[in-house]
Chain A
Amino acid sequence: MSEAANLSEAAVALGRRRFVQVVTAVLSGVLTGLDRAWAVELHSLSPDQSSTLLAMIHTIAPHDGLDDAAYALVAASLDADAASSAESRRVLTEGLAGLGVEFAHDPEPVRVRRLQAVEPSPFFQSVRIKTLLVLYNNPIAWTHFGYEGEAFSKGGYLLRGFNDLKWLPDVPIAAAGRMPV
C-alpha cells in the first residue's frame, strides 16, 4: 500500500481544490483534466490504451460525481507498474488489446458484459485490486465518500462529532461512560 500512499501524496500535490467534473483528455504521455486543473504523466501506455484502461476502471467502480483525477491516479499507478515490470506490462497490454479501442466507446452494459467475460483473468483482477488500492486512497476520494481521516491534528473527534448521531436514542451512561472533558 506504500505505493498507493505515495500516489495520494501526489494527489495532494495536484491541489486540494474541488475539481470540476471533466471528461479526461488523453494526450500523448499525459492524462489531464480538460480544464488542465490536473495532469498525470504516463510512461508506458499509449493514448488508446489509456482510454481503454480508464473506461475499464470506471466500469469496475462507477461513481457518478467522483472526479476523473481519482480515476487517472489508478491508471497512472498501473502505468508505473507496466513501466517497471515486463510481466505487468505484458498482462496489462494484452488485456487492453483484448478489450480493443472500441471498448471506451461502448455503453456501460456492454462494457460490463465484456469485463465479465475476462473476470477470472490476472489482467482483470490486477486492475480491480489496483482500483481498490488507489481510487479510494487519496484526498479526492476521501472528500467524496466522507472519510474524514486523521483528526489528531484537530484534537480528535471527541468534541467534533464522534457522538453526534441523533436519529437513534442515546445510550444509557451505565453501558458507556462520561466524557473525559
Chain B
Amino acid sequence: MSKFDLTDSDVVVVVGSGAGGGTMAHELTRRGLRVVLFEAGRRETLASFSQNPGTAYAQLTWLEPRSQTGTWDPVKNSPNQPAWHCRTVGGTTVHWTGATPRLRRYEMQARTTYGDVPGTSLADWPIDYEELKRWYLVAERRLCVTRRNGNPGMPASNNFKVMYNGAKRLGYKRVHTNYLAINSRAQDGRGFCIQQGFCVQGCKVGAKWSTLYTEIPRAEATGRLDLRTECFVTRIEHDASGRATGVIYRDAAGQEQRQKARIICVAGNAIETARLLLLSESARFPQGLANTSGQVGRNYCHHLTGFVWGIFDEPVNATRGVVLGGVVEDENVHDPRRGFVGGYHLELASLDLPTLPLVGLPYGWGRDFASIMDNYRNMAGILINGEDMPRSDNRITLSRTLKDPHGLPVAHVNCEEHPNDIALRSHAQRQARRMYEAVGAKRTLSSATPPATHQMGTARMSKDPGHGVTTPFGRTHDISNLFISDGSVQTTAGAANPTLTIVALVLRQADYIGREISAGRL
C-alpha cells in the first residue's frame, strides 16, 4: 500500500470511503492521480463480519450520539440516533441492502412538476434526466445491478411471494424482485447471492457491491491510493486566495495531523459532510466553508420511511433471503389526486431479532405486543421509501449540547414533518396494508419512523450560487478545488434509494475533474 507525505500538496484528499468516496478514490487513481482516502472507521473483511446482529451493528455503525429537535418520530424514539449509517471502510455500502432504483424524470424537476408547495424549498435539479441517465448506465454496469444490462433478476423469496400476490390483487403492474446491486450470478470477481438474509451485517460472500471489496482494492492496485483508517478529518483549511490547501485530522493514535492537498472531495454522508463544512469556519468563511449561500446543512432530506407488516395464518419466514428483494413501483409517480405531491416505492423488508421490536413495530407492551412477537414466523414485511419535502429549516447545525471525543460539537439534526410528508406516508401505509389484507392477513401493523438510512440535500446543487452549495458538478460555488461527492448534493430527494444516484454523480464528477485538470482549470 502506498504512503504519501503529509506535505505532498499534489495529492487529492477524499474524506469518507463509502459509495461516493470509495468510488471517487478508484476513479481518480485509475486516471493517474494520487489519492489519500480518509476513513473514520476500521477496515473489516468478509471474514471479520459478525453473524450476530447486535455485534454487527456495533461493529459497523456510526455510534457517536447526535442531538435532535423537531417533530419526527426519531426525536422521541431514538433521541441520540437520528440516522443509521456506517463508520467503517466501505462506509454505508457495507450494511446497505443494495436497492438501486433510478430517480425519475419528474423527480428531478420537482419545483416545476409539483408547483409552489408552501413551507418547502423545492427546486429543480440543475441537470436533466438525460444527462444523469448516461451515468446511471455506467453505474448500473459497475454495480452489476439485477434486471439491467441482461443481469437476471433475483429469484423470488417467500416474503416476495406475499408482496407480489398482494400487489397483483390490488392491480399493481410494476412489481418485481427489485433492482439490486447484488449478484444474481457470479461476476465481477464476486460470487452470487446465496440468500443469507444478512445484507445489513455485511455480506460474507461479497455478492453485494460494496466499495470495501470492489472500488477500494482496485484503487489500491493502481499503487496510487493511501487509505488512512481510523483517521477523522476535523477541518478543511484554505489559503488567502480562498483555495482549499489541505485537511486537519486526528490519526488512529489521536494525534492531530495536517495533510496538504491539491483537490479535496468530501463524502462523509450528508450529515457529517455538512458538519465538516460548518466545523471549517474561518475568518473568511465565518458561516462555515463553502457556505456563502447559507445553504450548507439546510434542505436535509432522509426519505419517508416506515415498516408495514402483515401477520398471516401460515409461515412466511421473511428473514430467509435477500432483505430488499422486491418492489412495487406503481406509486412512484406524481399524481396529486392521491392528496400529495411526489411518490413512493414499496420495498420488501424483514428484520432480525432484536431489531424488529426495537425499530420495526409500533410502540407497545403487554399481551398485545407479545402476540405480535409470537407471530414472528408468520410476518411479511414492507419498507416504505417515499419522497420527503426539502425544508429550509430541516437542517444540520453544530450541536450546542453534545461534543465528540475530540471535543468538537457533534451534528444537530432538526427535522419538522411537512403536511405532504404525513399525507404521503399515510397513503403508503394504507396501500401496503391493503396488499396484505388482499391475501388474507389476519392483522396488519405500521411502525413509527425509524432512524434515517438515507441522507441527502445538505449541500445541494444549484446553477445560481445564491441558491445552493455546489455547481451541477458538485464543485462548491465558493472554493474551486473543493468538491462534494455524496448524497449531500441532491437538490431534492425523489423516492429512489440514493446509492445508485451517488455513484452515478461521482462517476460523472470524476470525469469532470479529469477534464478540468487536462484543461488546466483545476
Contacts and interface: CB of A to CB of B under 8 A. Distances in A.
Interface of A: 1-2, 4-5, 8-9, 59-63, 112, 115, 128-129, 132-137, 141-142, 145-153, 155-158, 160-165, 167-171, 174-180
Interface string B352-390: 111011100000011101100110110000000000000
B485 to A, nearest CB: 31
A62 B54 CA distance: 23
B164 interface: yes
B320 A157 contact: yes
A4 B53 CA distance: 10
B353 A175 contact: no
Closest 8 CB pairs of A and B: A156-B194, A177-B153, A150-B51, A5-B54, A162-B321, A146-B377, A176-B156, A136-B354
| Chain B interface mostly | loop
14 contacts: A1-B53, A2-B57, A5-B55, A8-B54, A63-B374, A136-B353, A137-B353, A141-B353, A153-B51, A155-B194, A156-B195, A162-B321, A177-B155, A180-B152
| Chain A interface mostly | loop
A152 B165 contact: no
Given A133-B358, A145-B376, A152 B205 contact: yes
B176 A175 contact: yes
A143 to B, nearest CB: 11
B160 A171 contact: yes
Interface of B: 50-55, 57-58, 146-147, 152-158, 160-162, 164-165, 175-177, 184-186, 192-198, 204-205, 312, 314-317, 319-321, 352-354, 356-358, 365-367, 369-370, 373-374, 376-377, 439
Contacts of B193: 156, 158, 180
Contact of A168 (B57, B165, B204, B374): B165
A59 B366 contact: yes
A145 B198 CA distance: 18
Pick from A133, A165, A179 the residue with the most CB of B within 10 Å: A165
B51 A168 contact: no
A102 B161 CA distance: 50
A128 B354 CA distance: 13
Nearest to B174: A175
Contacts of A148: 317, 319-320
A11 to B, nearest CB: 11
A168 B162 contact: yes
A163 B164 contact: no
B152 A152 contact: no
A171 B315 CA distance: 17
A171 B163 CA distance: 10
B52 A8 contact: yes
A62 B370 contact: yes
